[in-house]
Amino acid sequence: MKLLFVVDPLAGLKPYKDSSVAMMRAAAARGHAVFACEARQLFIRDGHARASCVALDVRAGDDWYDIAHTDACILKDFNAVVMRTDPPVDTDYLLATHLLGIAETNGARVLNRPACLRDFNEKLAILNFPAFIAPTLVSADATEIGRFLDEQHDIIVKPLTEMGGSGIFRLTLSDPNRNAILETLTRHGRRAIMAQRYLPEISEGDKRILLIDGEVVPWALARVPLPGETRGNLAAGGTARAQPLSERDRKIAETLAPWAKEHGIFLAGLDVIGNSLTEINVTSPTGFQEITAQTGHDVAVQFIAAIERSCSTAVRP
């Protein structure tokens, strides 16, 4: 197969932990041709969606790639285009999904589907599954959020478009900074944010559960916060611990897996704290390398094998 990975700048990817690097290594090890580009290198010319791509020689180690050559590639000529650009889901990101959507219309196979990257905000998507979530409010109104805090006593507030724990705050009734925090996050009432009841089970880890083409990866990655920290995100200093899925984890994952596949979400990362679903990550879910290193279950190989199967049965538009 010939695979294109739309990623952040290659030089900035961390080969010891980055899931996109693991995907590219697994693809190369299975004999596939690996190409990469950045979202800003997507363009349309003569009616075809294209990209300025680099062909990669991928290998192990810190010096993990060489650029073999650079070409202007037509996206439909790849067996799959894997969109792995990190949030924020800003104007540039959304424009990239529109370009990828045109590529899809012209015959390209894009994973995850561009429409689902736009339609399923990673925070808001949990509202499709009310049975699995903690009390949650989405609002730009600080007074409304204040009433929610009065009811719940202890809450987490977060922006809807960030990742890695960015912009997340814990608020209690006695917090002297609550008004300033809400003014900042809501941009003085102009931007909706999410508020959720604080879940003390975060001390045991924010669990990442991966879904690949409708299948549940059998291990969760618990991101355990540093002492005194409320965020388990690895980007915020959390410690990664792979662990088997609990009965509740598996119920959540097996309920969401067919929904994800139906909507063109080839790869999803479910975040679960205690028994509650808190996010559905569809942009660039991570955790591949940590799960593989700790359990021996090679998630990247599972991902590439799933692409192989799906490409062998896919009907191009």
The domains of the chain, with CATH numbers, are 2-112 (3.40.50.20), 135-198 (3.30.1490.20), 201-311 (3.30.470.20)
Instruction: List, for residues 268-295, the tens digit of each pLDDT value.
Output: 999 999 999 999 999 999 999 999 999 9
The mean pLDDT of 26-44, rounded to a whole number, is 97
Say whether 109 is catalytic.
Answer: no
Q: Tell me the sheet residues that pair with 220.
A: 209, 243
pLDDT at residue number 166: 83
**Hey, is 242 helix, strand or coil?**
strand
pLDDT at 296 over 60: yes
- Among the listed residues 213, 249, 279, 298, the single catalytic one is 279
C-alpha dist (Å) from residue 117 to 91, 96, 265, 280, 315:
13, 10, 8, 11, 21
Q: Is 271 a known active-site residue?
A: yes
Q: Which of 25, 158, 178, 197 is catalytic?
A: 158
CA nearest 180: which of 191, 190, 188?
188
- Cβ atoms of 104 and 270 within 8 Å: the answer is no
Lowest-pLDDT choice from 28-32, 157-161, 215-219 = 157-161
Catalytic residue among 25, 281, 290, 298: 281
Q: What is the pTM of this model?
A: 0.93
Is 179 an annotated catalytic residue?
Answer: no
Q: Where are the beta strands (DSSP E) in 161-249?
A: 169-172, 193-197, 206-212, 215-224, 239-244
The model's pLDDT over 60-114, given as tens digits with 9 standing for 90+, comes to 989 999 999 999 999 999 999 999 999 888 999 999 999 999 999 999 999 999 9
The per-residue pLDDT for range 147-175, each reduced to its tens digit, is: 999 999 999 999 998 877 788 999 999 99
Checking if the pLDDT of 252 tops 50, the result is: yes
pLDDT, residue 227, reads 80
Would residue 223 show up in a list of annotated catalytic residues for this protein? yes
Banded pLDDT at 317 (limits 50, 70, 90): very low
Q: Given 112, 208, 213, 249, which residue is catalytic? A: 208
How many angstroms separate the CA atoms of 304 and 216, rounded?
A: 15
194-208 average pLDDT score: 96
Active site residue 158: yes
Asked if 14 is an active-site residue, the reply is no
Catalytic residue among 76, 109, 197, 223: 223
Sheet holding 206-212, edge to edge: 239-244, 215-224, 206-212, 267-273, 276-281
34 vs 90: which has the higher pLDDT: 34
pLDDT at 35 exceeding the cut of 90: yes
- pLDDT (average), residues 4-17: 97
Q: Which of 18, 206, 213, 271 is catalytic?
A: 271
Which pLDDT score is estimated for 304? 98
Q: Which of 123, 178, 197, 207 is catalytic?
A: 123
